[in-house]
Every structure is written in C-alpha cells, then in structure tokens.
Amino acid sequence: MKHFKQIITLFTVLAILLTSTITGNAASPKLSKKKKTITVGKTFTLKVKNIKRDFKWVTSNNNVAKLVSVNAKKNSVKIKGINPGKATITAKIGKKKLKCKVTVKANKQTNTVKKQPTAETSVTPTEAKIIKEYTVIPITLKGSKYSAVISEILNDYAQKGWTFQTMSIDSINNAYLVFVRDKIVED
C-alpha cells in the first residue's frame, strides 16, 4: 500500500509538471511572410504558424492579389497576383490580425524590335518594345450553359487579338479566364 501511494504521488507530480511545461511554451501565432513581391499571374502560399483554432483569410484588394485556395489542414492560403499594385492579406484570429503586405508587379517579358516604317510613321525605324498585356475575365459557372458562355467569350476575345492562356477555378461556381496579347510600346 505504501508503494501504491508513492506511485500515485509520483504520477500526480509528473502530470502537473508536464501540463505546466506544455502550456508555458505555447508560441503566439505568426505568418510565414510579412512581405512578398510577385508578378502578375504568379502565386505564392502564405501560412499561419503556431495556431490550433479557426481563423479567416481576407484580402484588401481582390483586383491586385486574389485568394485562390485555402488549405484548412495546413493553415495556408494560395495567393495569385491579378494586376499590378499593392494589397494586404490578413489572417483574422479572433480580435488579432496578422498581416502580409503583397506587391504585384507587371511581367517583365519584353522584346526589343525595330518598328517598320508605315505611312503613319517616319522613314527612320525607331526602337519599340513588345510587352505582354493580360486581362482576366471572371465568370460564374451556374447552370448547364456555362460551356456555351465560355465558348462565346473565347471567340469574342480571339477576334479582338487576345490569346487564351489559362482558366483558374477558385470555387464551385467561380472561374477566371486569362487572356494575353502582345502590345507594342514605343520608347
């Protein structure tokens, strides 16, 4: 009986020590990045570390940086650069807000070409740059006619000189068609 009381006392002391050690070392939540610069069309993943409770992701400017997908198991969100500019991605945890400042820059795909003279230009060739211009068309995938709508959009933009690049789906009902075209810019 004496050994039984000693064993119970030992287990009680160990339980108290382990509990105080676990609760005393809890780190506060923080983001994997506080600043990030990306180019239009590129994505990156932002993660909340040291958290075990629910929280919400928010973007300050959906036209610059869009929340593409959320992975609740990994406490992360995938963010895509839509247009050049600045946005803040916020993880709201109760009253606490963790922020990451995102800067989206235009793509730097440029080629230098000699502009050929036409009736509207001078006889001397000038330097010009070809840049990639992007546009994103949001569509809703409701009903059975969305394939006809997508086909109509593809044809319409093809006639305007745009080339279809990709389609991104961010939820069951929302998708984005991305088109690209070359644009000549004079120096």
Per-residue model confidence as pLDDT tens digits over 169-181: 776 777 777 888 8
Sequence-ordered list of residues with C-beta below 8 angstroms from that of 100, at least 6 positions apart, any chain: 31, 33, 34, 35, 36, 46, 88, 89, 90
Per-residue pLDDT tens over the stretch 111-147: 444 444 444 444 445 566 777 787 888 877 776 676 7
Instruction: Domain ranges for the chain, please list them.
Output: 28-105, 110-186
- Residue 181 forms beta bridges with which residues? 133
- 27 close to 9: Cβ distance less than 8 angstroms: no
Per-residue pLDDT tens over the stretch 29-79: 889 999 999 999 999 999 988 887 777 888 898 889 998 888 877 888 899
Q: Is the pLDDT of residue 11 over 80?
A: no
The pair of three-digit structure tokens given for residue 64, joined into one six-digit string: 């610059």
Per-residue pLDDT tens over the stretch 83-104: 999 999 998 888 888 999 999 9
Which one is the CATH code of 28-105: 2.60.40.1080, 3.40.50.300, 3.40.50.970, 3.40.50.1000?
Answer: 2.60.40.1080
- 47 close to 100: Cβ distance less than 8 angstroms: no
What is d(CA 55, CA 73) in angstroms, rounded to the nearest whole number?
12
